[in-house]
Amino acid sequence: MNRTPFCFQSRPKILSSSSVVGALEKKGPLSSYFDLFSPDSKFEMDSWEKAEAEMVRRSAEVAIKKAGLQNENMDLVFAGDLSNQCAATAFGWKKEKIPYIGLYGACSTFALSLGMAALSVECKLAKNAIACASSHYSTAERQYRFPLEYGCQRTPTSQTTVTGAGCAVLGESTARDFPFVSEFLPGIMSDFGIKDANNMGAAMAPACADTLVRYLSESGKTANDFDGIFTGDLGFEGHQIFLELCQKGGHDLRKMSEDCGKLIYDRESQEVNSGGSGCGCSATVFSGYIMDLLKTKKLRNILLIGTGALLSATTVLQKETIPAIAHLVRIEMED
């Protein structure tokens, strides 16, 4: 049995990261941390799907440039999104000519891609590897729910799919000014019988608690050993349930846990119901905001727990329950 956290020996560094967002995200509290935005979230494209792919492409361009590298230095991309057949990711990366591995983890995709990219650097499958994830409000709404033109009202527990693409370049470096991935724990699916696709936070919270409690128990650490435990993206309802589940398991996370879906919008002034969701949420909050806190040493030792609801529009129509998963990566900054 080897379900313990994987500890990286080579300290795979996060050499750079980029975040590209839409209009609503740019108006939110993390505005200054994002690299690029599109004022109409269209990125000068003629369909929402093409806009999402273009957003992915720009996030790649910025991240590789910020690392001071070229496409030909990149050996592998791990990436995914919410669109059917992960088409936004494929079309965003198709011209970059970098070996490509598509992942599907719903909103957990960014943490998963970060773990896999770090693993590929550790085991020398790649010298430099990329982690990337994206989502777009308008592609997700018409794919999962209703066309925007329909003007459908959302329920209070529903989350707002973030328009955003986040990208990180990983590689080996002896320089001490880069954060590094130190541990990775892939999640186990859980299904607590939630059927309400407008309350995915509730479906994902138990999976998130399961992964964190398993991590703490296997590693012998406590929540207080970390100065940040970021979940992404449970939203306001889901994060509260997650905190309560952890409390019941003997772990008080109130001091150090935050959720990317809560951080990205201002719930008071922006109409976002239970906060942000979508692969692009934790991808941009991590690549923009959290990376900044790490690089400026305001944070030195964090956990990022990506949470995904593994439903589809078809499974919802067939009245299936929602399985969920949470993948954990630990990221540290050198002293």
- List residues near a copy of itself by CB under 8 A: 1-3, 6, 47, 49-50, 72-73, 75-76, 80, 82-87, 90-91, 93-95, 97-106, 112, 116, 119-120, 122-127, 143, 184, 186-189, 191, 310-315, 318, 320, 323, 325, 327
Q: Closer to a copy of itself by CB, 33 or 158: give it.
A: 158
CA angle (169 as vertex; 167, 175 as ends), nearest 5: 140
Closer to a copy of itself at the Cβ: 62 or 103?
103
Between 55 and 112, name the residue whose CB sits nearer to a copy of itself. 112
CA dihedral of 211, 222, 279, 244, whole degrees rounded to 10: 80
- Which three-class secondary structure state does DSSP give residue 11? coil
Which residue has 């059917």 as its token pair?
Answer: 84
- In angstroms, give the least distance from the CB of 44 to a copy of itself: 16
User: Whole-number minimum distance, CB 38 to a copy of itself, in Å?
Assistant: 19
Least gap, CB of 3 to a copy of itself (angstroms): 6
Please say whether the beta carbons of 133 and 52 come within 8 A: no
- Minimum distance, C-beta of residue 220 to a copy of itself, in the bound complex (Å): 19
CB 290, CB 72: distance < 8 Å: no
Say whether 19 sits in a helix, a strand or coil: strand
Going from the C-alpha of 2 to that of each of 5, 289, 304, the distances in angstroms are 8, 33, 21
**Cβ count near 119 (within 10 Å):** 19
- 131 touches 167 (CB < 8 A): yes
Task: Report the residue number, 47 or 217, with the smaller CB distance to a copy of itself.
Answer: 47
C-alpha 309/C-alpha 245 separation (Å) is 18
Closest to a copy of itself by CB, 140 or 260: 140
Q: Between 77 and 299, name the residue whose CB sits nearer to a copy of itself.
A: 77
Give yes or no for a contact between 21 and 163, defined as CB atoms under 8 angstroms apart. Answer: yes
Nearer to a copy of itself, 50 or 221 (CB): 50
Beta bridge partners of 181: 331
CB 79 within 8 A of CB 113: yes
Residue with tokens 């970098």: 98
Of 81 and 259, the one with the shorter C-beta distance to a copy of itself is 81
- Per DSSP, 287 falls in state I
- What's the full length of the chain, in residues? 335
d(CA 138, CA 162): 9
CB of 232 to a copy of itself, least distance (A): 17
